[in-house]
């Protein structure tokens, strides 16, 4: 159903795009309204007879709402804050969740709300020097909150969908956070963000994911609070690595470069494993093992690869990957077996 719906939407998009310039503004707007009406109307008509197809059509309707909003602005030459369009799209998804309560609407809302907040931040901060810590910290913490939606063997499709979103997004969000903070540049010619704006950004970054975590997890949100501290530490460590606070001096003395950053990443991997074992969630154990392995791999590239001969460095890397991969995989299997067998 999902694959067929995507192909159907792609076909409609290509057909309309081919004839878009030939249509009058009124015809374009009517076509947008008709498309949304057909998709949601078809979903409503099939709700009792074919629920899966109904869910697919409603999902396509909510997904089509965003392009309809922006095309409407283009048709009538509306010059407005583009982040407001994303907000309207998010509100449409929220209405879909309230009325339909299916997992497709939940996924769309879970994606669109962070996109709206990112859009607002980009619009607000565009005239000031780059300060991305609230944005990057919020991305990581939001992904962790989605990942924590299920505890034990809860069978809610909406919670399962959130876990999938968090599982897919966590490692890329953490990587984006590290690279964005390490590449952050301060332009002296541009003013800094107002203090009130900065405080509001940090309040939204920390409170919004924790509030969602409380709604999903209740008293167990205290674990999410610990992850909020870890996400903040990750962004700060990445910034320190950018400014070279832990680089060796010109004589080669000092600790390994960026050691603090790699330690925090490794702690995050171990923490995910422990969290998964505590709440009996396999995806957290698997993600934790992957995060720990990636941290070790990047530490090797950053600290040893350039100091060794090309052939020897590749040979050593191959040995480490084979031996380390075997050790991590066996550890993962033992942990999962212990988790399944424990009461």
**Is residue 235 a part of any domain in this protein?**
no
Alpha helices per DSSP H over the chain: 2-19, 25-45, 51-75, 82-100, 103-125, 133-147, 157-182, 195-217, 221-243, 259-279, 282-303, 310-341
281-304 pLDDT, tens digit per residue, is 888 999 999 999 888 888 877 776
pLDDT in tens, 307-321: 666 676 777 778 888
Final residue of a structural domain among 126, 142, 160: 126
Last residue within a domain, chosen from 106, 126, 146: 126
- Are 3 and 122 in the same domain? yes
Residue 226 lies inside a defined structural domain of this protein? no
Question: Is residue 12 pLDDT above 80, yes or no?
Answer: no
Task: Out of 126, 143, 167, pick the residue that ends a domain.
Answer: 126
- Alpha-carbon torsion angle 279, 281, 284, 288, nearest 10: 80
Same domain, 202 and 177: yes
Measured distance CA(14)–CA(313) in Å, rounded: 50
What pTM was estimated for this model as a whole? 0.84
Residue 236 falls inside a structural domain = no
pLDDT tens for residues 108-119? 999 999 999 988
Residue 122 sits in the same domain as residue 135: no
Residue 233 resides in a domain: no
Domain extent for 86: 1-126
User: Do residues 214 and 115 both lie within one domain?
Assistant: no
**How many whole angstroms from its chain centre is CA 220?**
22
Is 139 found in the same domain as 114? no
Residues 160 and 181 in one domain: yes
Burial 292-327 (b: 16+ CB within 10 A, else e): bbbbbebbbebeeeeeeeeeebeeebeeeeeeeeee
167 is a domain residue? yes
In a domain, 230, yes or no: no
Q: Looking at beta carbons, which pairs linking 98-105 to residues 24 or more positions away fall under 8 Å?
A: 100/55, 100/58, 101/158, 102/55, 102/58, 102/59, 102/157, 102/158, 103/55, 103/157, 103/158, 103/160, 103/161, 104/55, 104/56, 104/58, 104/59, 104/62, 104/161, 105/58, 105/59, 105/62
**Domain total for the chain?**
3
CA gap 24, 195 in Å, rounded: 48
What is the phi-psi region of residue 91: left when phi exceeds 0, alpha when psi lies from -120 to 50, beta otherwise?
alpha
Confidence of residue 255 (pLDDT cuts 50, 70, 90): very low
Contact 5, 56 (CB under 8 A): yes
Is 239 part of a structural domain of the chain?
no
Asked whether residue 227 is assigned to any structural domain, the reply reads: no
Residue for token digits 């990443």?
Answer: 265
Are 57 and 118 part of one and the same domain? yes
Contact 124, 77 (CB under 8 A): no
In this structure, the answer to whether residues 255 and 337 fall within a common structural domain is yes
My answer on whether 19 and 111 are in the same domain is yes
Report the alpha-carbon angle 334-327-315, nearest 5. Answer: 165
**Rounded Cα distance, 254 and 220, in Å:** 41
Q: Which of 93, 208, 199, 203 is closest to 145 using CA atoms?
A: 208
Backbone angles phi, psi at 329, to 5 degrees: -65, -40
Tell me: the pLDDT tens digits for 127-158? Answer: 666 678 888 899 999 999 999 998 877 778 88
On average, the pLDDT of the chain sits at: 83
Q: Same structural domain for residues 5 and 89? A: yes
Cα–Cα distance, 60 to 54 (Å, whole number): 10
Statement to judge: residues 153 and 114 lie in one domain: no
Tell me the mean pLDDT in the region 167-191: 79
pLDDT for position 251: 44
Q: What is the three-class DSSP state of 284?
A: helix
Same domain? For 113 and 169 the reply is no
Q: How confident is the model at residue 64 (pLDDT cuts 50, 70, 90)?
A: confident
């Amino acid at each position: 159903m999902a694959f067929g719906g995507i192909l159907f939407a792609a076909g409609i998009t290509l057909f309309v795009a081919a004839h878009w310039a030939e249509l009058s503004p009124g015809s374009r707007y009517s076509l947008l309204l008709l498309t949304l009406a057909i998709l949601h109307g078809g979903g409503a008509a099939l709700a009792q007879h074919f629920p899966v197809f109904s869910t697919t059509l409603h999902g396509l309707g909510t997904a089509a709402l965003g392009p309809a909003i922006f095309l409407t602005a283009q048709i009538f030459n509306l010059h407005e804050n583009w982040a407001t369009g994303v907000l309207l799209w998010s509100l449409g998804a929220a209405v879909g969740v309230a009325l339909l309560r299916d997992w497709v609407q939940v996924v769309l809302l879970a994606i669109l709300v962070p996109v709206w907040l990112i859009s607002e931040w980009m619009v607000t901060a565009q005239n000031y020097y780059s300060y991305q810590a609230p944005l990057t910290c919020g991305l990581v913490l939001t992904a962790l909150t989605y990942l924590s939606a299920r505890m034990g063997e809860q069978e809610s499709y909406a919670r399962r969908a959130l876990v999938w979103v968090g599982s897919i997004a966590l490692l890329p969000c953490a990587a984006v956070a590290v690279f964005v903070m390490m590449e952050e540049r301060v332009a002296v010619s541009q003013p800094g963000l107002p203090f009130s704006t900065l405080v509001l950004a940090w309040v939204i970054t920390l409170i919004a994911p924790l509030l969602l975590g409380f709604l999903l997890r209740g008293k167990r949100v205290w674990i999410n609070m610990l992850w909020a501290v870890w996400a903040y530490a990750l962004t700060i460590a990445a910034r320190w690595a950018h400014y070279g606070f832990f680089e060796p001096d010109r004589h080669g003395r000092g600790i390994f470069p960026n050691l603090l950053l790699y330690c925090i990443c490794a702690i995050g991997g171990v923490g995910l494993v422990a969290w998964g074992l505590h709440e009996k969630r396999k995806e957290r154990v698997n993600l934790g093992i992957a995060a720990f392995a990636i941290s070790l791999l990047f530490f090797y590239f950053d600290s040893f690869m350039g100091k060794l001969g090309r052939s020897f460095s590749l040979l050593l890397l191959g040995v480490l990957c084979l031996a380390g991969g075997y050790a991590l995989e066996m550890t993962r299997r033992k942990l999962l077996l212990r988790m399944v067998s424990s009461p």
